[in-house]
Structure 1
Amino acid sequence: MRIDRSADWADPIPPVRREVLSATPETDEGRPPLLFVPGYGHGAWLFAEHWLEHAAGRGFGAHALSLRGHGRSGDAPGAGLRAYAHDVVQVAASLPRQAVLIGHGAGALVVAHALARYAARAAVLVAPVLGGWGTLGEALRRNPGGTIPALAGARLRVSRRQLFGRELPDATAREYASRVRFTSRRAQYQLITHRAPEPPAGAPPVLVIGSQHDGIVSPAALNRAAQRFGGAPLLFPGMGHDLMLDTRWREPIDAILDWLEKN
């Protein structure tokens, strides 16, 4: 099947400075590098807090990308899903070996689109927000105060209760939540209006993980995401949407690394 990518040359993605934070293992054991992709409003700091060094300690080169307009990457107020996927593909292609793509939240949707253009070693979707009208319905039900203004052009807002489990101290949760800033209204709208991702190149294994207590992604949405890739979600009860910042952050990253060692 021929896939027409005429937009790539007719409307090329402009270059931008990309923030990539990395942690490398003491010895190179030939394991695939990991590329972590944060969700909208987050930056590479999301994974640098705990997961990068932990993965490196277990022998995996670990890298986290801030999508354009996020973190310390270059400003891009009108950026959308195509530009985000382009950033992921470009960084993944620069790594020394075939990479594992790990996307969180709406970053999982970016990864799903990037998989059509980059033959990843494997992929992991963490608390995935894969978009569509169902995503809007859940957002209106779970977070009407932050979602309704966004439909009128304001930036989406999420609460501390949606992002973290109850075990995380309030002061820590507030500090993390203050760093979450949605930047692109176009990308917000594309969560609802985007076209479904093309099939992944090379048919990599895909793992979906999350929590049934996530304040953003429902258990039904986790099941749908996992079924799309032929599996069932791996769940971590009591944790919030930002599993990598919660008090029990080691559990999901160890589960991911254990899965990668078997696949």
Structure 2
Amino acid sequence: MKTRVVRVTDWTRPVPAVYREVRAATPEAPEGKPPLLFVPGFGHGAWVFAEHWLEHAASRAFPAHAVSLRGHGGSGPAPEATLRAYAHDVVQVAASLPRQAVLVGHGAGALVVAHALARYPARAGVLVAPVFGGWGTLGAALRRNPVGTLPAVFGGALRLNYRQLFSRELPDAAARDYASRLGRASSRAQWQLLRHRAPERAVGDPPLLVLGSPDDRVVPPAALTRTAGRYGAAPLLFPGMGHDMMLDARWREPIDAILDWLDKDLVR
């Protein structure tokens, strides 16, 4: 019989409870497809998926949900949150859904999803423009946006320029508006992201898709390829798009690719 090592910290230092904001879109004609749980990255709330992707997924018969990690969006405050607490939020929301869910993480939310996959037997996982951290990622961020990145090294807020997040196809007014709505992660979680502890192996080895853009000004192409290689795959690329693919001008392309992949590989 195979046994699993008990994580001592889970019962000696349980994650504090907090209110979690969850937004959802329900298909008009359910077809039994697995629910999707979207997880935004640092500074982003569930609203970034509610803008386009939730309703679009529901229009293709996928029940769609998005959670704001603690301290983000409409969820409860958590100034000392850790990556473990963020992963706990994802697992708790996923476990509350009526069927085994597909976890979809964006940016640093993709790293949170990777950690959650080690604790929750997901139907599948999707990593969108994944930020898995490490000093190499920090170096790239410092070169592109030193003023906004350097404070995060010393516990301050990470401030991303709107042109780091979006392509030039998205009008400036919309890009500035989206960027103005971003918040921040806890300084502890930011520091853990920089130190980069590799996630444990996913429970049940679910199928996993990695996608991003070679023109992403947050995730260098080499980092995207490296993350995909960790899961034995090549990334699905969308040239010309920015980091926040779910809000960019061509937002339909990546979500349709995700849903097409799920329809082909998961839906029977």
Q: Same fold (TM over 0.5)?
A: yes
Residue 231 (structure 1) shift: 0.6
Task: Provide the C-alpha distance between the structure 2 equivalents of 1:220 and 1:2, rounded to a whole number of angstroms.
Answer: 34
Give the equivalent residue in structure 1 for 2:27: 25
Residue 183 (structure 1) shift: 3.5
Aligned residues: 263
Give the equivalent residue in structure 2 for 1:43: 45
Task: Provide the C-alpha distance between the structure 2 equivalents of 1:2 and 1:32, rounded to a whole number of angstroms.
Answer: 27
> What is the identity, as a one-letter code, of the residue corresponding to 2:63?
G
1:205-224 Cα deviation digits (max 9, x unpaired): 11011111111001111101
Give the equivalent residue in structure 1 for 2:162: 160
SS of match in other structure, 1:245: coil
Do 2:155 and 2:191's aligned partners in 1 also have CA atoms closer than 8 Å?
Answer: no
Give the equivalent residue in structure 1 for 2:147: 145
Residue 235 (structure 1) shift: 0.7
Residue 194 (structure 1) shift: 3.9
Q: Any runs of at least 4 consecutive aligned residues in structure 1 with deviations exceeding 6 A, and if so which?
A: none
Residue 147 (structure 1) shift: 1.3
RMSD: 0.9
> What is the identity, as a one-letter code, of the residue corresponding to 2:56?
H
Give the equivalent residue in structure 2 for 1:236: 238
Task: Provide the C-alpha distance between the structure 1 equivalents of 2:244 and 2:34, rounded to a whole number of angstroms.
Answer: 24
Give the equivalent residue in structure 2 for 1:127: 129
Give the equivalent residue in structure 1 for 2:201: 199
Which of 64, 67, 75 is equivalent to 2:66? 64
Structure 1 unmatched ranges of 5 or more: none
1:226-248 Cα deviation digits (max 9, x unpaired): 11111111111111000010111
Which of 226, 230, 253 is equivalent to 1:224? 226
SS of match in other structure, 2:19: coil
Q: Which segment is superposed worse, 199-208 or 142-151?
A: 142-151
> What is the identity, as a one-letter code, of the residue corresponding to 2:123?
R
Task: Provide the C-alpha distance between the structure 2 equivalents of 1:39 and 1:30, rounded to a whole number of angstroms.
Answer: 28
Q: TM-score, normalised by structure 1?
A: 0.98
Residue 152 (structure 1) shift: 2.1
Task: Provide the C-alpha distance between the structure 2 equivalents of 1:150 and 1:104, rounded to a whole number of angstroms.
Answer: 19
Give the equivalent residue in structure 2 for 1:77: 79
> What is the identity, as a one-letter code, of the residue corresponding to 1:83?
A
Residue 188 (structure 1) shift: 0.6
Identity percentage over the alignment?
73
Residue 142 (structure 1) shift: 2.0
Q: Which segment is superposed worse, 42-51 or 129-138?
A: 129-138
Give the equivalent residue in structure 2 for 1:260: 262
Do 2:144 and 2:217's aligned partners in 1 also have CA atoms closer than 8 Å?
Answer: yes
Corresponding position: 1:188 with 2:194: no
1:61-106 Cα deviation digits (max 9, x unpaired): 0000000000000000000100000000000011111100000000
Task: Provide the C-alpha distance between the structure 2 equivalents of 1:143 and 1:230, rounded to a whole number of angstroms.
Answer: 31
Task: Provide the C-alpha distance between the structure 2 equivalents of 1:136 and 1:182, rounded to a whole number of angstroms.
Answer: 16
1:129-159 Cα deviation digits (max 9, x unpaired): 0112222222222221111122122111100
Q: Which segment is superposed worse, 131-140 or 119-128?
A: 131-140
Residue 50 (structure 1) shift: 0.2
Do 2:137 and 2:220's aligned partners in 1 also have CA atoms closer than 8 Å?
Answer: no
Structure 2 unmatched ranges of 5 or more: none
Residue 28 (structure 1) shift: 1.7
Do 2:132 and 2:196's aligned partners in 1 also have CA atoms closer than 8 Å?
Answer: no
SS of match in other structure, 1:243: coil
